[in-house]
Structure 1
């Protein structure tokens, strides 16, 4: 999970960390399942569910083969904006996806966000000092 851009291109362009995709599988269209790419390998995208009528939002989806993004299996909803805010959002979102279980509590999500905030504060202090 080192690159933020996939090594292969598709009909819609490169798969990149931060993109938002709609899952167009027949069983997912009615659920309106929307996935955000949070990490990439050479062959797969790791995604988090941002929206799903069945309540799986906030959970990590199984890794998706990059080649599937070039098919009708997915539809690009939102491309990334290459700025610091998008990178921060992706970092917070990735931390929140690590909160797993059948029913994670708001406190667990808040603790994940607090941990990222503390890391960012420490990083900022190191760059200034």
Structure 2
């Protein structure tokens, strides 16, 4: 199985490695069973149980699941996969927002911190383009 996006899609896009899905089967909803996609082939996804209220189930791999099922009401996408570039940008914004001073910063303070981080990224990208 590869880590490339599958041709089968859900309402949110293709099934990809790293996504977290909730199993919406009636007997699994109460157990809050969450599955993380660890591999995708042309027709199936391999998942690992990331959360399950039934003792001993977390950490187990599932049988391969048909990709077409992810496009139905059988599963609900909880968390999409994040690529490395997005992860690095997210980390920069988190650092900027967590460095906002004060005991109870306002939403505007957080917005200004994010704007400063955004402006720094644009400046760094422009400087890099000029060097090349």
- TM norm structure 2: 0.61
Whole-angstrom CA distance in 2 between matches of 1:53 and 1:4:
31
Give unmatched runs, 5+ long, in structure 1: 87-129
Question: CA offsets per residue over residues 25-69 of structure 1, 9 Å max, x none?
Answer: 011000100000000111100000000000200010111110000
What number of residue pairs does the alignment pair up?
Answer: 86
> Superposition pairs for residues 18-97 of structure 1, below 5 Å?
18-55=18-55, 56-83=57-84
Residues 1:32 and 1:4: Cα distance change in structure 2 (over 3 Å): same
Whole-angstrom CA distance in 2 between matches of 1:52 and 1:9:
25
Runs of 4+ in structure 1 over 6 Å off: none
- Decide which structure has greater strand share: 1
Q: Secondary structure at the match of 1:31?
A: coil
Bigger Rg, which one: 2
- TM norm structure 1: 0.62
RMSD over aligned Cα atoms: 1.7
